């Protein structure tokens, strides 16, 4: 095993000097007369002086506004802080600024399991956005109207998002693999006027038609006035007898509107940009509303300083349109960077497909989840040997806690000189709290740093900041990408309960975090799935790292159930590799590994073999729903099957809860 915190990589002097962080520090010295000589001091200044920091970004990135803002921040309060009041900006306008400078340069390289690799220029992207935006205006979309999408990760979906936000519409997206109930639960909350939809998608070489699902969705959305139909699987696919239908081709079959003549709808500081939804695995998904100005300034910061993107960068992050990483991926355009869009299975036709695509597209930045890395390792792949990855500079791992072994695998099997980063945040902020800086070294399993402007701390139960101890991830200073509000949240009650109930005025994110003396960070899983053994809180990521090092174990999930009399029961569920049996020998091996790598408190009360571990559609283990089922919740209230990657996996736990009552008396 790789030792947690072991030094794996140090950036060279040239890499540091050429980084966006270093250029910003130079700009601050020149334009603001600030003497800052390290990232740590830059971070400290950014959280001590949030008005000065975020205001400097407005100037550094030359944000375009119809009117000047009256103040950067009205009050340092959460919730309720107001950012850049008086400004009028448009997010899509800033995404497309590169078109003015390099119209013929490539902005998208895109392919699917049904379409070959193709490219799109900035000029073509801008042309289609302007045409579609004009047609949306013509059919009645006005600022503040909701426009939703049930489309794959293809340029048309990105164009629809930009066209919607260009005219002040409010965007929201669901991936076509989402079930009808999941989509309706989301979209019915926001009363959409227009739906973009496709006839289906292909995954792993198999076609999945969606015409019937689209009909059901349309029928369930009474506010819908128009259905924009994209034949994706079949060029001739239609929805007959649908009076609201208009084809994608019809809307785009118009003359270009010259860039100089097109009018972006520049909107107020509190105008909604898009609505993102929580996973919805336990109840109605939260409809999280973000603003143009908040997401714009946050993504300008994150893509520049924490992903180090520049004109000429090629960003490739495997994502679907139902995950906030799709929104974050398109934010790469703010730096003039190009993006690889891929829709399909990450392991079809072979487990190394994404690496082949990264090599083919000359990706400079590659992103995926830790689960993907585990698949690569188990398949014994060595992409650095098999493919030309000479253009690759950086790795971005997101979606779940990363282990030291994940980091080490990249250096061993991909490239020795590589900036491997892990970043963690959430849908609620459409960005990260902790992540990377190109000026810092990489340590095994360690997230390099807290992100600029994010006053992140680890707090114990008494609300005291701790170092080198696991605590609650909190943010004590407002930041622009906080949600404006939750849609249809009367008085902001649900918003407040989600983040500010524990400590008034302090954002509690719901993750366990440890921050060490050098500022490195470790995420230990969700604190709402707390493992509590004899008063000691344990992060689930610690368990998984140890258990999944046992050769016979393919995957695992652990929960802790409160029992009468103040007792706890902590079962571990393991998916075994083929032909393995959970006997006394393997049970002993699992217990020994947990004692040795973690502590005796980490050893579960019982271990059970299961066929599958349940995951959400975004690849997160469903610890909280499983715990609720074991605690007696009705299955339909504990977990939405439509929000699951593998819905059948939850059935085992439902049966277990009904049939195995002996565990409650343990």
Residues of the chain with pLDDT > 70, as a percent, come to 94
**Which of 166-180, 577-591, 623-637, 644-658 has the least mean pLDDT?**
623-637
Residue 293 lies in a domain: no
Query: 340 Cβ partners below 8 Å, 6+ apart?
Result: 108, 109, 110, 314, 315, 316, 357, 358, 361, 363
Report the C-alpha gap between 471 and 473 in whole angstroms: 6
The partner residues of 621 in beta bridges, in order of sequence, read 615
φ/ψ of 4, rounded to 5, equals -60, 130
Task: Please spell the DSSP secondary structure of 410-456, one letter per residue.
Answer: HHHHT-SS-EEEE-EEETTTTEEEEE--TTS-EETT-B-EEPTT--E
Strands (E), 539-652: 553-558, 561-563, 567-569, 571-576, 606-609
Does residue 644 form part of some domain? yes
pLDDT band of residue 567 (cuts 50, 70, 90) is: low
Distance CA 234, CA 232 (A): 6
**Tokens 């990105």, residue located:** 158
Q: Is residue 568 part of a domain?
A: yes
| DSSP label of 486 | E
59 class by beta-carbon count within 10 Å (0-12 exposed, 13-18 middle, 19+ buried) = exposed
pLDDT tens digits, residue range 343-353?
999 989 999 99
Based on DSSP, count helices (H) and strands (E) in the chain, helices before strands.
23, 37
| 156-to-37, 151, 197 alpha-carbon distances in Å | 44, 8, 10
In a domain, 559, yes or no: yes
Q: Is the pLDDT of residue 269 over 80?
A: yes
Looking only at the bridges linking them, the beta strands covering 118-121 and 146-150 are unpaired
Say which residue, 65 or 379, is predicted with more confidence.
65
Residue 536: pLDDT band (50, 70, 90) is low
Model pTM score? 0.86
- Rounded-to-integer distance, Cα 202 and Cα 436, Å: 34
- Is-contact 500 494, C-beta < 8 A? no
Is 563 a residue whose pLDDT tops 70? no
pLDDT digits over 289-314, tens only? 999 999 999 999 999 999 999 999 99
The average pLDDT across 604-618 equals: 90
pLDDT for the residue numbered 666: 47
Q: What is the pLDDT of residue 370?
A: 77
Q: Is residue 632 part of a domain?
A: yes
Q: Please give the residue range of the domain that contains residue 548.
A: 526-665
d(CA 458, CA 524): 12
pLDDT higher than threshold 70 for residue 612? yes
Position 647 in a domain: yes
What length is written for the chain? 666
pLDDT bracket for residue 241 (50, 70, 90): low
pLDDT band at residue 533 under the 50/70/90 scheme: low
Most confident of 252-266, 272-286, 375-389: 252-266
Q: Is the pLDDT of residue 664 over 70?
A: no
pLDDT at 529: 66
* Percent of the chain at pLDDT exceeding 90: 74
pLDDT band at 103; cut points 50, 70, 90: very high
Q: For position 640, which CATH number holds?
A: 3.30.300.30
The mean pLDDT of 89-102, rounded to a whole number, is 98
Q: How confident is the model at residue 617 (pLDDT cuts 50, 70, 90)?
A: confident
Contact criterion met (CB below 8 Å) for 282 and 639 = yes
Could you tell me if residue 631 is inside a domain?
Answer: yes
> Of 117-126, 279-288, 414-423, 610-619, where does mean pLDDT reach its minimum?
279-288
Q: Does residue 434 fall inside a structural domain?
A: no
Q: How far is CA 42 from CA 37, 47, 304, 309, 453, in A?
A: 8, 9, 15, 19, 9
**Overall number of domains in the chain:** 1
121 DSSP β-pair partners: 106
Strands 431-435, 424-426: parallel, antiparallel or unpaired by DSSP? antiparallel
């Amino acid at each position: 095993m790789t030792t947690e915190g072991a030094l794996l990589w140090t950036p060279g002097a040239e890499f540091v000097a050429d980084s966006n962080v270093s250029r910003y520090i130079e700009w601050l010295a020149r334009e603001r007369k600030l003497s800052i000589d390290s990232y740590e001091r830059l971070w400290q200044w950014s959280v001590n002086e949030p008005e000065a920091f975020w205001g400097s970004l407005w100037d550094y990135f030359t944000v375009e506004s119809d009117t000047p803002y009256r103040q950067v921040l009205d009050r340092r309060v959460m919730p309720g802080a107001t950012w850049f009041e008086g400004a009028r900006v448009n997010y899509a306008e800033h995404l497309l600024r590169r078109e003015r400078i390099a119209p013929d340069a490539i902005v998208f390289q895109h392919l699917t399991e049904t379409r070959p690799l193709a490219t799109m220029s900035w000029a073509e992207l801008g042309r289609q956005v302007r045409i579609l935006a004009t047609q949306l205006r013509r059919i009645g979309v006005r600022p503040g109207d909701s426009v939703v999408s049930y489309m794959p990760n293809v340029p048309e979906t990105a164009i629809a998002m930009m066209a919607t936000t260009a005219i002040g519409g409010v965007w929201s997206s669901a991936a076509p693999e989402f079930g009808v109930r999941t989509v309706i639960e989301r979209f019915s909350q926001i009363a959409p006027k227009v739906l973009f939809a496709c006839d289906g998608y292909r995954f792993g070489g198999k076609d999945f038609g969606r015409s019937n699902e689209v009909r059901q969705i349309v029928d369930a959305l009474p506010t819908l006035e128009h259905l924009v139909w994209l034949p994706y699987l079949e060029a001739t696919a239609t929805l007959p007898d649908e009076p609201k239908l208009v084809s994608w081709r019809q809307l785009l079959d118009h003359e270009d509107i010259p860039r100089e003549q097109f009018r972006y709808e520049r909107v107020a500081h509190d105008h909604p940009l898009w609505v993102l939804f929580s996973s919805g695995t336990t109840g109605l998904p939260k409809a999280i509303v973000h603003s143009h100005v908040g997401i714009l300034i946050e993504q300008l910061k994150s893509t520049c300083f924490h992903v180090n993107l520049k004109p000429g960068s090629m960003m490739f992050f495997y994502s679907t349109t139902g995950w906030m990483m799709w929104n974050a991926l398109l934010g790469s355009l703010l730096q003039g960077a190009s993006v690889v869009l891929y829709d399909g299975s990450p392991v079809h036709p072979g487990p190394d497909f994404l690496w082949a695509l990264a090599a083919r597209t000359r990706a400079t930045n590659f992103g995926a989840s830790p689960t993907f890395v585990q698949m690569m390792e188990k398949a014994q792949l060595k992409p650095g040997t098999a493919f030309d990855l000479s253009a690759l500079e950086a790795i971005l791992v997101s979606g779940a806690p990363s282990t030291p072994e994940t980091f080490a695998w990249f250096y061993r099997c991909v490239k020795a000189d590589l900036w491997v980063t892990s970043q963690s945040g959430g849908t609620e902020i459409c960005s990260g709290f902790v992540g990377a800086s190109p000026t810092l070294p990489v340590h095994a399993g360690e997230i390099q740093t807290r992100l600029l402007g994010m006053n992140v701390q680890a707090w114990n139960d008494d609300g005291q900041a701790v170092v080198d101890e696991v605590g609650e991830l909190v943010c004590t200073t407002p930041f622009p990408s906080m949600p404006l509000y939750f849609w249809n949240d009367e008085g902001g009650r649900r918003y407040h309960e989600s983040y500010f109930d524990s400590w008034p005025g302090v954002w509690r994110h719901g993750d366990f975090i440890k921050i060490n003396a050098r500022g490195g960070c470790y995420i230990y899983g969700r604190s709402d799935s707390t493992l509590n053994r004899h008063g000691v809180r344990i992060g689930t990521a610690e368990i998984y790292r140890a258990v999944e090092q046992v050769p016979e174990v393919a995957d695992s999930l652990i929960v802790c159930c409160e029992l009468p009399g103040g007792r706890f029961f902590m079962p571990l569920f393991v998916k075994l590799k083929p032909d393995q049996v959970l006997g006394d020998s393997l049970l002993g091996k699992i217990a020994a590994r947990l004692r040795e790598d973690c502590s005796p408190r980490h050893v579960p009360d019982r271990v059970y073999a299961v066929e599958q571990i349940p995951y959400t559609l975004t690849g997160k283990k469903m610890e909280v729903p499983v715990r609720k089922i074991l605690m007696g919740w009705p299955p339909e209230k504990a977990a939405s099957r439509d929000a699951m990657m593998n819905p059948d996996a939850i059935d085992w736990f439902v049966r277990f809860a009904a049939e195995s009552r002996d565990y409650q008396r343990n």
